[in-house]
A and B are shown apart, each in its own frame.
Chain A
Amino acid sequence: MSEERVGVYICHCGSNIAGTVAVEEVSQWAAGLPNVVVSRDYKFMCSSLGQELVEKDIKELGLTRVVVAACSPHMHERTFRATCERAGLNPFLFEMANIRELDSWATDDRVAATQKAKAMVSAAVRRVIHHQPLQLLPVNINPNTLIVGGGIAGITAALEIANAGYHVYLVEREPSIGGHMAQLDKTFPTLDCSACILTPKMVDVAQNKNITLLSWSQVEAVEGYVGNFTVTVRKKARHVNEEKCTGCGICIEKCPKRVIDEVFEAGLGYRKAIYRPFPQAVPKYPVIDTASCIFFQRGKCKACQMFCPAEAIDFEQQDQILKLEVGNIILATGYDTFDPRRIPQYGYGRLANVFTSLEFERMVNAAGPTGGRIVLRDGVTTPKSVAIIHCVGSRDKNYNEHCSRVCCMYSLKFSHLLHERLPDAQVYEFYIDIRATAKRYEEFYHRILEEGTRFIRGRVAEVTDAARLPGEEGKLIVQYEDTLIGKQRRLPVDMVILSVGMEARRDSRELAQIFGLGCEYNGFFIERHPKLDPVNTMTEGIQIAGACQGPMAIPEAVAQGAAAAARVLSLISQGTVMMEPVRAHIDAEKCSGCRICNNLCPYNAIVFHEDRKVSEVITALCQGCGACVAACPSAAITGAHFTDEQVMAQIEGMLWDVQPQFAVTSTETR
Chain B
Amino acid sequence: MDATTAAAELAALDANRAALSERVVQPWWYDALLGLLIAGFISSYSSHNTWVILIALVVFLAGVRALIAVYRRITGLWVNGFRPGRTRRAIHVFFVVYAVVLGAAAAFEFLLDVRGAMVVGGVVLGIAVAVISHWWTRIYVAELRGER
A binds B: no
Binding site for A on B (CB under 8 A): none
